[in-house]
Amino acid sequence: MNGWFDRLLPKHRFITEKVESPTAVYVGMMRYNGLPIDRQLMERKREEAEIQLIQLKGKIGFIIGDVKIGANASTAAFKKYLFDTLGLPKMKLTAKEKDALDDEALVMLKEWCAIHRPELVELFGYVQEYRHWGKLKGTYIDGYLKHINGATGRLHPDLLPLATETGRFASRSPNCQNMPRAGTVASVVVVAGDDGGSADAESDGVNVRNFIVAPEGKVLLSLDFSQIELRVGAFYCKDEKMLETYQTGGDIHALTTGVIYRISLSEAEDRTHSDYKERRTIAKNCNFGTFFGLFPKGLQKTLKFKAGLEVDLAECETIIRNLKAGYPRLSRWQEEVKKRASFRKYTETWLGRRRHLPDIASKSWSKKSFAERVAMNTPIQGTAADILKLALGRIIKGLPDRPWLKPLLQIHDELVFEIPEDMVENAVIFIKNCMETQPFDAFSVPIVAEASVGRRFGELEELGDFVMPNAVGSDAEEVAANG
C-alpha cells in the first residue's frame, strides 16, 4: 500500500502520516475530555424558550386564527393560508419546484408586505422570532441535553476531521461546529463549495456558549486563528498590497474599504466617518467572498440577507470591479486556478489534499461555474484546515509535559482548552507557539492566534497583545520549532 501511495499519490502519504494521524489522536483526546456543561442553566433557558414560543404562537394565532403552523411555521396549511387565502406572492421555489417558505422567503415576503400589505409586517416579524426560538430550543437546548453523558455530566461530541472534502472538521451528536455566539448574526458570505464556513449559525438570544462552563478552579482558554483564510488567500495570489498589509500588521478590511471605494486608508480607518460601519461590512463580505469567485448578484444577496444592507446591483458590480482592479494578482490567480483545474479535473491544497471536479468540464453553465468556485475555494479553505491540523500535531508533542492542559473542542479556526486558573500564561505561550509557527517553508504570511480566557465559553475575555518572552526556555519553543 505504501508503494502505491509513493508512486501515485506521494503527497497523500505525508497527509496521512504527518497531518491526519496526529489529528486523529487529538480528536480522541477531545472526545474523551468532553465539554463541561451547566445543566441547570440549560434547564432554565429551556423554560424561557418554552415561554417565548407559547407567547409568540399566541400572537401569530391572534392574527391568522386556528391555522396550524407546526414547530417551524412551514406547514402546508400555513403556506396555503399565506399564498391562497391572503393571496401573497410566491417569492421563490424549492429545489423540487414547490413553494418555498425558508428564512430568505420570509424576509422577501416581509419586505413586499411593508409596501403592499403593511398590516401583515407584524405577522412575519412574529414568525421569524418564533422560528428563531424554536431553533434555539430544539437544536441547542433540547438537542444538547439529550447528549449529556450520565457518568461524566459532559458533552462528548463526535468531531470528524475528514467529514468534508476540504479537510475541515465537522461535528455530530451534537453538532458543536455551528454553536452561535451571543447577540451575533451571520454576516459573512456563504460561498459555493464551503464545507464549514466561519459564520455563526444565527443570532443567539440565550448565549448557547455559556452552557459550557469550567469546573471550580479551572478556566476555559480559546486560541483563534485571526483571518487565517484571508492570509492563505494572500499567500496564494501573492498580491503585494495584501502581503504588505499582513506583514506589517495592518488592517486588511480597511485596505479593502479603501480599494473598493477609492478612498484613502486614513479615511477607511476613520471610525467617526458616517459611512464607516456600512463600508467596512461590505469590505468584510467582499474579502470573504471574492477569493471564491463571488458574482455581483451573489454579493447583493449576501449583503441583504447576511448583513442587512440594501445595495443595488450596479453598485455591487462597481465594488467587485474596483476590488479586482485594486488587487490585480487576485484575478490572475483565479484564472490560473480555473485553467489548471479544467486541465487536471481536480484541485488541491498546498500540501496536496486533492478534490476531484468532474463537473469542471460540464456543458451546463451552473455545474461548471460551481466547480470553478470550488476549485478556488478548496486551496484556501483546505490549506487553512491543514495549517490548523499541523498545529494540533505540535500541541500533541508537548502534552506529555503538560498533563494539566486538556483539549476540549475545535470550532472552525478555534481551539478550546480546559486549564487550571494559574496556568494561563504558560498555556498561552505554548499554544501560540504551536499555532503561529510557519506551517511549511513556502508560507510567507505571518500567522496570528488570538487568546481569550474565562470561566464560561460565552463570556471569554480577550487577552489582547500577549507579549511572547524573548526566551521561552523551554520545550514550548522547541516543540513548535520542531513540529
Query: Is the alpha carbon torsion for 375, 377, 380, 385 positive or negative?
Result: negative
Neighbours of 401 (CB within 10 A): 12
Report the C-alpha gap between 358 and 369 in whole angstroms: 12
Dist CA 71 CA 54 (whole Å):
11
pLDDT tens digits, residue range 411-422?
989 999 999 999
What pLDDT, on a 0 to 100 scale, did the predictor assign at position 182? 64
- Residue 160, Cβ neighbours under 10 Å: how many? 14
- Would the CA dihedral through 462, 467, 473, 476 be positive or negative? positive
Amino acid present at 152? T
Domain boundaries, the chain: 2-37+153-229+388-482, 39-145, 240-326
Q: Are 349 and 381 in contact (CB under 8 A)?
A: no
Widest distance between CA atoms in the chain? 74
Do β-strands 406-411 and 414-420 pair in parallel, antiparallel, or remain unpaired? antiparallel
Can you name the residues that pair with 283 across neighbouring β-strands? none
The grid cell for 226 is 485571526
The fold adopted by the segment(s) 39-145 is: Taq DNA Polymerase; Chain T, domain 4 (1.20.1060)
End-to-end CA distance of the chain: 26
The pLDDT value recorded for residue 296 is: 87
- d(C-alpha 452, C-alpha 416), whole Å: 9
Phi, psi of 448 (to 5 degrees): -125, 130
Distance CA 174, CA 36 (A): 14
- Classify residue 389 as exposed, middle or buried by CB count within 10 Å of its CB (0-12, 13-18, 19+): buried
Kindly report, residue by residue over 300-316, the tens digit of the pLDDT: 888 888 777 888 899 88
pLDDT at 469: 45
Q: Write the CB contacts of 164 (distance below 8 Å, at least 6 apart in sequence).
A: 170, 195, 196
Q: Is the pTM of this model over 0.85?
A: yes
In what helix (H) or strand (E) does residue 454 lie, and over which residues does it extend?
A: strand 449-454
CA 157/CA 138 separation, integer angstroms: 17
Question: Alpha-carbon distance 48 to 27, whole Å?
Answer: 34
Residues 313, 198: Cα–Cα separation, whole Å: 25
pLDDT tens, the chain, 483 aa long: 677 777 777 788 889 999 999 999 999 999 999 999 999 999 999 999 999 999 999 999 999 999 999 988 999 999 999 999 999 999 988 877 788 899 889 999 999 999 999 999 999 999 999 999 999 999 999 999 999 999 999 999 999 999 999 999 999 999 998 888 765 433 333 333 444 433 343 446 789 999 999 999 999 999 999 999 999 999 999 999 999 999 999 999 999 899 888 899 999 999 999 989 888 888 888 887 777 777 888 888 888 887 778 888 998 899 888 888 888 898 899 999 999 999 999 999 999 999 999 999 999 998 999 999 999 999 999 999 999 999 999 999 999 999 999 999 999 899 999 999 999 999 999 999 999 999 999 999 999 999 999 999 999 999 975 444 443 334 444 444 444
Q: Which of the listed CATH numbers 1.50.10.20, 3.40.50.1110, 3.30.70.370, 3.30.70.141 matches domain 2-37+153-229+388-482?
A: 3.30.70.370
Q: Residue 466, SS3?
A: coil
Question: One-letter amino acid identity for 435?
Answer: M
